[in-house]
Amino acid sequence: MFDDEYVQGNSPHPTSCGKKQKTWHYEHKYQKHWELDEDYKKWIGRSKKGHFYFYCKSCLSDCKGGLSAVKKHQSSNKHKQTIKNVKVTSVFDMPSTKNLISSVRKVKIAEIRIASFIAEHNLPINSVDHLVGLIKSIDLQPKELEKLSCNRTKCTGLINNVVGATGFENIINIMKNHRFSILVDESTDHSCIKHLAIVVRTCINFEVSDSFVTLLPLADATSQNIKCDDGCKQFITNQVRDDVPNLFILKCVCHSLALCADYACKKLPDTVENMVRSIYTYFQQSFKRQKEYESFQTFWSIKPHKLLQLSGTRWLSVLAAVERILEQYKALQSFFRLEKFNDVLNGTNISNYLDDPKNKLYLEFLTFILPTIVNVNLEFQSEAPKLYLLYDRIASAYKFILQCYIKRNILNNTDISELQYRNPENYLPSENIYLGPAVAVAFQNNVLTLQEKETFQTDCLSFLVECARQIFVRFPFNSNEVKALKHMTFLDPNNVKNTSTLGLVSICFSKLVNDQNELDREWRLFISNVNIDKDKSVLSFWKHSLTILKGDDTLMYPKINNFVTGLLSLPHSSACVERVFSAVNINKTKLRNRLSTETLCGLLLSKQLIKECDNKTCYSYDVTKTTLDKHKAGN
């Protein structure tokens, strides 16, 4: 295809035959590249009349011809006059438009660089929300930006010695001016450094909060069961008691209950634990097996839930893992029978476990008895004050377990602190021991032989006895600490009217009371005037009731206010300390395993400081003068 075409015409010179010779004229097409030429691009365009025409945007006319015609039209007086009269500036040539285009380009480049920063440093994408806000909050002029520097060493110094140090001072000031409780726990991080985490609980204006204080590196220590059963105190207890004679010590409820279940489960045959662990391990590292198993889940119309792992450090893992296996028992049986048919060794062993009806009954028994402990565990992982409920919840769980194997008349007529739970004379006959509805139905259907049934009942009885023993060992109902918990039920608004005196509980916590007569006088006045609102939470009820003022603007019930505030600051579990170790593991990973204990403390204290500033963010919280004064050039 050619840009120019020939057009036939008559030649002015005749041929030898007396005829005029035909001539060919060139007709030039419109060329697209004319629009890029600096001389023509502002006014030339393609014509709608055809390929041999061009259009003048200024003259609003179509002209025929090639480049020479374009030049001729450009030099014509008509075109020059039109250009002179119109003189329209292109929108794209306007300064405002050019500035806008330049600004948009700069913003796009900045956004690309922010995304590249996240990708290069393996940061969570969620952090980009705060990163953009932080960049917008930086109010520095270009000359000031040139002085900005924050390399790795300086950033570490700012975290440890400025922001973190400010957070630490704030916590110390709170501890100096308010009553507090100390929560401790130990754990080992990714670099095999054992830390003792210290958290304090305070109740200020009837708002309970847990605050991280510090991490202490330890060579060898344990904070569980800080008080020995035989009465001898461990070193840390003795050291604290020297300074605080009226020290009130309570073990972590959640950890203690988890240990109760753990020790009780050891009374069951090892085949039960081996089966649960083997099933999870069989699928864990094989994506192929997982995909094959999905077809069995679909066939049995079972939800495609993943199997769960037994964990020695997770408090609720046993019940969750057992319930998941029972949920998918038919699919698991079918899958491992096929593995057994294919002569897969591990699959054969698991198939034998699953086909043994006794193993399934053990799992059914666990799903019946473990929720008694797990539900209490879950309730006391709450950050809200729950200590006033502890005695009732533990006593109820303890009685529930005893009801399964202790004679009813003995259980009803004997105080739980004096009941001999390990005396066989107090046991029910083996056929009357209750092991759950699923087990009862299986016994009626004669799923097990007589010998298997006796073995099963003996194992489950051992479980119940051991579980009761572990609860009593960790929560001795005849100890002063547990008796004190029993008297704290008055903190429940529903029990306020039923408590005629605070004498018993005030004796247990004598450090909180300097005048028991005045406390009791205020209490009797309080219960005669208070209105119980059952819709309010515990903290809301006491805040509303104990902040009432007299005519001289002093508290109506100052002794009760001080006493209740002190009791609400008592913790019930170390779950908040476990959350500290979760934060440690987020910061100190396998890749970032060189973080020192000092830097970890600085990170945790800095994060806590920002969170306490009215829940503001890193780019919106107020940097106080105290913090600025700590920022030295050397940091």
How does pLDDT run across 367-380, given as a tens digit for each residue? Answer: 999 999 999 999 99
Chain length of the chain: 635
- How many domains does the structure of the chain reveal? 5
Residues 73, 121, single domain; the answer is no
- Best-predicted range by mean pLDDT (63-72, 78-87, 408-417): 408-417
378-408 as b/e, with b when 16 or more CB fall inside 10 Å? ebbbeeebbbbbbbebbbebbeebbebbbbe
Residues 470, 535, single domain; the answer is no
pLDDT at 420: 92
What is the 3 state secondary structure string of 360-429?
HHHHHHHHHHHHHHHHHHHHCCCCCCCHHHHHHHHHHHHHHHHHCCECHHHHHHCCCCCCCCCCHHHECC
Q: Residue with structure tokens 């209740």?
A: 564
Per-residue pLDDT reduced to its tens digit, 534-560: 788 899 999 999 999 988 889 999 999
Residues 120, 160, single domain; the answer is no
Give the single-character DSSP code of 219.
Answer: S
Residue 621, judged by CB atoms within 10 A of its CB (0-12, 13-18, 19+), counts as: middle
The strand order across the sheet containing 207-218 reads 180-188, 194-204, 207-218
Per-residue pLDDT reduced to its tens digit, 423-468: 999 999 998 999 999 999 999 999 999 999 999 999 999 999 999 9
- Give pairs for 497-502: CB < 8 Å, separation 24+: 497/527, 497/532, 499/523, 499/527, 500/524, 500/527, 502/560, 502/563
- Domain end marker among 449, 474, 499: 474
CA separation for the pair 264, 468 (Å, rounded): 9
Per-residue pLDDT reduced to its tens digit, 481-524: 888 888 899 999 988 988 888 988 888 888 888 888 999 999 99
Residue 361 belongs to a domain: yes
Residues 162, 138, single domain; the answer is no
Residue % of the chain over a pLDDT of 70: 89
Residues 320, 419, single domain; the answer is yes
- Domain end marker among 148, 166, 181: 148
Residues 396, 488, single domain; the answer is no
Give the single-character DSSP code of 32.
Answer: G
Domain range spanning residue 329?
260-474
pLDDT at 116: 94
Sign of the CA dihedral with 243 first, then 246, 251, and 253 last: negative
- Residue 510: both structure tokens together: 């004598």
SS3 203: strand
CA separation for the pair 463, 88 (Å, rounded): 95
Which of 30-34, 148-152, 295-299, 605-609 shows the lowest mean pLDDT across its residues? 30-34
Is residue 90 predicted with pLDDT exceeding 70?
no
pLDDT at 97: 66
Is residue 390 predicted with pLDDT exceeding 50?
yes
Chain centroid to CA 471: how far? 30
How many helices (H) and strands (E) in the chain?
27, 8
Which of 42-56, 232-246, 258-272, 583-597 shows the lowest mean pLDDT across its residues? 232-246
Residues 313, 240, single domain; the answer is no
Report the pLDDT averaged over residues 403-429. Answer: 93
Mean pLDDT of the chain: 86
Residues 277, 425, single domain; the answer is yes
Residue 16 belongs to a domain: no
- Residue 255: both structure tokens together: 């950890």
Report the pLDDT averaged over residues 393-407. Answer: 95
Which of 198-212, 324-338, 620-634 shows the lowest mean pLDDT across its residues? 620-634
pLDDT at 22: 58
Residue 61 belongs to a domain: yes
Cα 436 to Cα 277, 394, 399: the distances in Å are 24, 20, 15
Residue 339, judged by CB atoms within 10 A of its CB (0-12, 13-18, 19+), counts as: buried
Residues 383, 359, single domain; the answer is yes
Is residue 632 predicted with pLDDT exceeding 90?
no
Residue 423 belongs to a domain: yes
pLDDT at 4: 53
- Domain end marker among 414, 444, 474: 474
Residues 432, 521, single domain; the answer is no
Cα 408 to Cα 183, 258, 431, 470: the distances in Å are 40, 27, 15, 21
Residue 363 belongs to a domain: yes
Residues 306, 443, single domain; the answer is yes
What does residue 520 show for φ and ψ, rounded to 5 degrees? Answer: -70, -35
Cα 291 to Cα 121, 283, 287, 331, 335: the distances in Å are 34, 10, 6, 13, 12
Residue 608 belongs to a domain: yes
Residue 416 belongs to a domain: yes
Residue 20 belongs to a domain: no
CA separation for the pair 117, 241 (Å, rounded): 52
Per-residue pLDDT reduced to its tens digit, 235-260: 666 777 777 777 788 888 988 999 99
Q: Residue with structure tokens 């800080």?
A: 226
SS3 232: coil
Pairing of strands 44-46, 61-64: unpaired
- Closest Cα partner for 150 from 132, 138, 166, 167? 138
pLDDT at 604: 94
pLDDT at 313: 61
272-288 as b/e, with b when 16 or more CB fall inside 10 Å? beebbebbbebbeeeee
pLDDT at 96: 66
Report the pLDDT averaged over residues 84-103. Answer: 65
Residue 364: pLDDT band (50, 70, 90) is: very high
Residues 619, 552, single domain; the answer is no
Residue 2: pLDDT band (50, 70, 90) is: very low
CA separation for the pair 40, 66 (Å, rounded): 13
Per-residue pLDDT reduced to its tens digit, 9-44: 544 555 444 555 555 666 788 888 888 888 888 888
Element spanning 56, H or E: strand 53-56
